[in-house]
């Protein structure tokens, strides 16, 4: 598995975990949980930023919809810091 596939799989797992653990199933709350998970995992955060900069998160956003869109937007914001 290459780096892009691994980070996409990791982020997809974060989204799926957030969905599974959500008491309230609103997109924003689930997305917040996914963003929080990535934000507090320094290694995953750096990998996500690198994948974003390399243009490797487009398939995640297309496959996972709005929740991934919020997550990718957060990653894009971190990439500018």
CA 31/CA 43 separation, integer angstroms: 19
pLDDT at 19: 82
What tokens does 81 get? 């810091």
pLDDT at 78: 96
Each residue of 48-63: pLDDT tens digit?
Answer: 999 999 998 988 877 7
Each residue of 24-46: pLDDT tens digit?
Answer: 678 888 888 899 999 999 999 99
For tokens 């949980």, what's the residue?
A: 33
Distance of CA 11 to the CA centre of its chain: 4
CA 63/CA 21 separation, integer angstroms: 20
pLDDT at 46: 94
Give Cβ neighbours of residue 22 (< 8 Å, ≥ 6 apart): 29, 30, 33
């Amino acid at each position: 598995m290459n780096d892009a596939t691994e980070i996409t799989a990791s982020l997809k797992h974060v989204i799926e975990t957030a969905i599974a653990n959500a008491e309230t199933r609103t997109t924003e709350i689930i997305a917040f949980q996914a963003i929080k998970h990535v934000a507090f995992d320094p290694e995953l955060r750096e990998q996500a930023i690198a994948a974003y900069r390399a243009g490797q998160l487009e398939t995640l956003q297309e496959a996972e919809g709005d929740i991934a869109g919020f997550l990718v937007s957060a990653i894009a914001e971190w990439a500018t810091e």
